[in-house]
Structure 1
Amino acid sequence: MTVIKNIAKDRILQITVVITIISLFFARPRIEDINFHTLYSILAMLTIIQIFSYLHVLDVLAYKLTASARSTRRLTAIFTILSIVSAMFLTNDITVLTLIPLYLTIAKRHHLPEILPVTLIGMGANIGAAFTPWGNPHNIFVVNRYNVSPLKFFSWSLPLLLVSLTIVLLFIFFVKDKPIPTVPLEDIRISVRPMVLTIAVSIFFFFGVFNIVPAIVAVILALIINPSIMLHVDYALLLTFTCFFIFISDIQQIPFIVTLISKTMFSEHSVFLTSIISSQFISNVPSTILIGKFTNYAEALFLGSNIGGFGSLVGSMANMLVFKSFVENGTVSKRKFFWIFSVLEFAGLLILTILGWIVLDFVI
Structure 2
Amino acid sequence: MKPVEPPSRWLTWLAREWMLLVFALLAVLLALLDPQPAAHYAYWLRTPTLAGLLGLMLAIQGIRDSGAVQRLAVGVVARTHSLRVLGLTLVTATALAATVLTNDVSLFLLVPLTLAIGEMSNLPVKRMVVLEALAVNAGSSLSPIGNPQNLLLWQHGGMSFFDFTLALLPAAVTMFALVAVLAWCWLPRGRVTLDAGAFDGHRVAWRSAVLSLLALAGMVLAMEHGHALAGALTLLVLYALFSRRTTARLDWALLVTFAAIFLGLGHLAALPAVQHLLDGLDLRQPWIVYVTGIAASQLISNVPATVLLMDRVPDTVLLAVAVNVGGFGVAIGSLANLIALRLARQPGGLGLLHRASIPFLLVCAPLVYLIARYLA
Instruction: Answer yes or no: is 1:125 the counterpart of 2:136.
Output: yes
Amino acid in structure 1 at the alignment position of 2:56 = I
Instruction: Answer yes or no: is 1:206 the counterpart of 2:224.
Output: yes
Instruction: Answer yes or no: is 1:187 the counterpart of 2:203.
Output: yes
**Contact 2:168/2:317 (CA < 8 Å) preserved in 1?**
no
- Give identity over the alignment, percent: 17
Query: CA 1:53–1:348 in structure 2 vs 1: closer, same or farther (change >3 Å)?
Result: same
Alignment of 1:161-180 (within 5 A): 161-174=172-185, 175-180=187-192
Amino acid in structure 2 at the alignment position of 1:357 = Y
Query: CA 1:64–1:293 in structure 2 vs 1: closer, same or farther (change >3 Å)?
Result: farther
**Contact 2:115/2:125 (CA < 8 Å) preserved in 1?**
no
Amino acid in structure 2 at the alignment position of 1:28 = Q
Deviations 1:80-116 (A, max 9, x none): 2233244453616535752554354345xx4x55665
1: CA distance, partners of 2:228 / 2:342: 32
Amino acid in structure 1 at the alignment position of 2:266 = F
**Contact 1:66/1:78 (CA < 8 Å) preserved in 2?**
no
2: CA distance, partners of 1:280 / 1:29: 27
Instruction: Answer yes or no: is 1:55 the counterpart of 2:73.
Output: no
Q: Report what 2:116 is aligned to.
A: 102
Instruction: Answer yes or no: is 1:306 the counterpart of 2:324.
Output: yes
2: CA distance, partners of 1:122 / 1:323: 8
Amino acid in structure 2 at the alignment position of 1:263 = G
Query: CA 1:218–1:320 in structure 2 vs 1: closer, same or farther (change >3 Å)?
Result: closer
Secondary structure of residue in 2 paired with 1:178: coil
Instruction: Answer yes or no: is 1:275 the counterpart of 2:286.
Output: no
**Contact 2:60/2:108 (CA < 8 Å) preserved in 1?**
no
Question: What is the CA distance between 1:124 and its match in structure 2?
Answer: 1.9
Count residues in correspondence: 342
Secondary structure of residue in 2 paired with 1:69: coil
Instruction: Answer yes or no: is 1:218 the counterpart of 2:235.
Output: no
**Contact 1:39/1:241 (CA < 8 Å) preserved in 2?**
no
**Contact 1:123/1:345 (CA < 8 Å) preserved in 2?**
yes
Which of 30, 40, 43 is 1:23 aligned to? Answer: 30
Query: CA 1:63–1:300 in structure 2 vs 1: closer, same or farther (change >3 Å)?
Result: farther
Deviations 1:92-148 (A, max 9, x none): 6535752554354345xx4x5566544323322332343455654544554566667
Query: CA 1:243–1:124 in structure 2 vs 1: closer, same or farther (change >3 Å)?
Result: same
2: CA distance, partners of 1:273 / 1:44: 31
Query: CA 1:62–1:303 in structure 2 vs 1: closer, same or farther (change >3 Å)?
Result: farther
| Structure 1 unaligned spans of 5+ | 209-213
Q: Report what 2:261 is aligned to.
A: 240
Deviations 1:246-294 (A, max 9, x none): 4434x0xx2x432212223522432221121233344334433433464
Secondary structure of residue in 2 paired with 1:55: helix
1: CA distance, partners of 2:48 / 2:72: 29
2: CA distance, partners of 1:235 / 1:116: 25
Which of 345, 348, 359 is 2:360 aligned to? Answer: 348
Query: CA 1:188–1:155 in structure 2 vs 1: closer, same or farther (change >3 Å)?
Result: farther
1: CA distance, partners of 2:255 / 2:126: 31
Query: CA 1:125–1:243 in structure 2 vs 1: closer, same or farther (change >3 Å)?
Result: same
Could you tell me the TM-score, scaled by structure 2's length? 0.71
**Contact 1:76/1:172 (CA < 8 Å) preserved in 2?**
yes
Secondary structure of residue in 2 paired with 1:300: helix
1: CA distance, partners of 2:222 / 2:135: 26
Query: CA 1:32–1:148 in structure 2 vs 1: closer, same or farther (change >3 Å)?
Result: farther
RMSD: 4.2
1: CA distance, partners of 2:37 / 2:311: 14
Amino acid in structure 2 at the alignment position of 1:241 = F
Which of 49, 56, 73 is 2:84 aligned to? Answer: 73
Question: What is the CA distance between 1:324 and its match in structure 2?
Answer: 6.8
